[in-house]
Amino acid sequence: MDKQYIIKLLEKIKNIMALNKDYLIQLDSVVGDGDLGLTMSDGFLAAYNAVKDSDEEDLGKLLYNAGKAMSIAVPSTMGTLMASGLMNAGKVLKGTTQISLEDIAKLFEAYLDGVALRGKAKVGEKTFLDGLAPAVHSLKTSVRNEDSLEQAASNAEYAAEEGFRNTTTMIAVHGRAATRGEASMSLQDPGAAVAMLIMRAFNESIK
């Protein structure tokens, strides 16, 4: 898979964020500003538009440029975090022109690391990381097991969904939800929902 796959992946993420805009707004209105759906739909639209007609063959540069465009379009906290993920993935995949399952695992692990570094968060603190980390673990397992790309994508989506659901067992450490203390435990985390949607889009991009 080459640059056309990266463009397709970003298009799928853009589409799924637009379709779930109201869902994310609803989730975020409970614990945040209620603007998450707009931020994600606008941000990933900007990321896709930045690369859809690009002549760039370097997949790393393509991802970095998408992240840069997103950071400018939606300079909010979550917008900056998602852009940081894309840009870090771009740095890790710099010089790559063809992508395999192993590279995809590296892409999403770098995305996870970029968000964690920028947000100064850890897995288990009820954030985006808790949706994406299980998917990254699943992808790395699929690489070791030499699973097909289709099986790996399906497993990763399932892992992200489980991770999102599992946020109702965690106490929020960051953002407005953290002010609720133990009362935050029963709430679903909107950031983890974004991670789940990204992995759903990834799975759709493989089909």
pLDDT tens, position by position, 62-100? 999 999 999 999 999 899 999 999 999 999 999 999 999
* Residue 172, burial from CB neighbour count under 10 angstroms (0-12, 13-18, 19+): buried
Each domain of the chain, given as residue ranges in start order, spans 3-206
Predicted structure pTM score = 0.93
Average pLDDT, integer, range 126-149: 96
- The C-alpha atoms of residue 95 and residue 85 are separated, in whole angstroms, by 18
Q: Which of 62-76, 92-106, 132-146, 166-180 has the lowest mean pLDDT?
A: 166-180
The DSSP symbol for 125 reads: S
pLDDT tens, position by position, 21-64? 999 999 888 776 778 999 999 999 999 999 999 999 999 999 99
- The C-alpha atoms of residue 27 and residue 3 are separated, in whole angstroms, by 33
Pairs from 37-42 (Cβ < 8 Å, separation ≥ 24): 39/74, 39/76, 39/78, 39/79, 40/78, 40/82, 40/194, 40/197, 41/14, 41/17, 42/73, 42/74
The DSSP symbol for 87 reads: H
Superfamily of domain 3-206: DhaL domain (1.25.40.340)
The pLDDT, as a whole number, for residue 175 is 63
Query: Residue 28's closest CA among 160, 169, 187, 185?
Result: 187
